[in-house]
Amino acid sequence: MDRDAEAKKILKLVADGRFKMAEHTFVRGNERGISRQQIIHCAEHCIYHKWQDSQETHLFVGYLDISATGGFSAVIRSGVIIVTVFRRRLTRWEKNLVKHKKP
């Protein structure tokens, strides 16, 4: 499976809630105030994704809820989706992507 197809598969599975939060993700989510539902929301409202060579993971950036932005990085290993979550503001480039995607 190529990286783009893998990223789309990850987005679909996470959006459907078909992932488990490892202890590390659960702890990081709690530290950062990010819930499982916000991870699902981010997958449903992903602005863009890209492969990160340095981390060997996919990066997904989007909306955690209607007012918060952030994202998650993820990879599939041995059939399991491994997710790490974060909050951050959108860059100017990312905001422009949102503007161009609106109907």
User: Residue 21: what pLDDT?
Assistant: 78
pTM of the model: 0.89
Is pLDDT of 103 > 70? Answer: no
Q: Give the pLDDT mean for 61-71.
A: 95
| Beta strand pairing call for 46-52 and 57-63 | antiparallel
Of the listed ranges 13-17, 59-63, 75-79, 87-91, the least confidently predicted one is 75-79
d(CA 5, CA 95): 25
d(CA 29, CA 38): 10
Q: Specify the CATH number for 3-101; select among 3.30.2310, 3.40.50, 3.40.1390, 3.10.450.
A: 3.30.2310
Is pLDDT of 6 > 80? Answer: yes
Is pLDDT of 102 > 90? Answer: no
Q: Give the pLDDT mean for 46-73.
A: 95
Is pLDDT of 3 > 70? Answer: yes
Is pLDDT of 89 > 90? Answer: yes
- Domain positions in the chain are 3-101
